[in-house]
């Protein structure tokens, strides 16, 4: 089993590639339980490369305060956009999304290095 950094919660060595009963690939994170399904093997190119880019970004983030601020602001902006644009299904009440747009919008302990 090949584990890699989750592209959703950024947890190290938490995400693995699996195959459904029809042989299609998907990834699942053992920390946030996010599943990402792929219709072919082509998108796995990104799954193979992006965790290394994230590792590099997290190393820079740890040593460069300005980069860390921009990094965290990008995550907070995405969380705000999703929260502001989430709409309930017709006839249902909206479930409040958690406020995760703090200064550091992810749990450093889960991220690991």
Model pLDDT for residues 60-100, shown as the tens digit of each residue: 999 999 999 999 999 899 888 888 887 766 666 666 555 44
Query: Would you place residue 1 in the very low, low, confident or very high pLDDT band (cuts 50, 70, 90)?
Result: low
Integer Cα distance of 5 and 24 in angstroms: 21
Maximum mean pLDDT: which of 1-5, 44-48, 57-61, 77-81:
57-61
Integer Cα distance of 5 and 98 in angstroms: 23
Cα-Cα end-to-end distance for the chain: 20
pTM, entire model: 0.63
Please give the pLDDT value at position 95: 61
Chain CA centroid to CA 49, Å: 14
| Structure token digits, residue 31 | 């920390």
- How many percent of the chain have pLDDT more than 70? 76
Asked if 7 and 1 count as a contact pair (C-beta separation under 8 A), the reply is: no
């Amino acid at each position: 089993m090949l584990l890699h950094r989750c592209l959703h919660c950024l947890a190290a060595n938490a995400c693995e590639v699996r195959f459904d009963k029809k042989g299609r690939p998907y990834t699942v994170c053992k920390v946030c339980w996010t599943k990402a399904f792929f219709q072919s093997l082509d998108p796995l190119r990104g799954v193979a490369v992006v965790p290394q880019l994230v590792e590099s970004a997290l190393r820079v983030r740890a040593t460069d305060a300005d980069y860390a601020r921009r990094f965290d602001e990008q995550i907070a902006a995405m969380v705000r956009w999703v929260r502001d644009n989430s709409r309930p299904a017709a006839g249902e009440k909206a479930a409040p999304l958690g406020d995760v747009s703090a200064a550091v919008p992810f749990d450093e302990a889960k991220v690991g290095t």
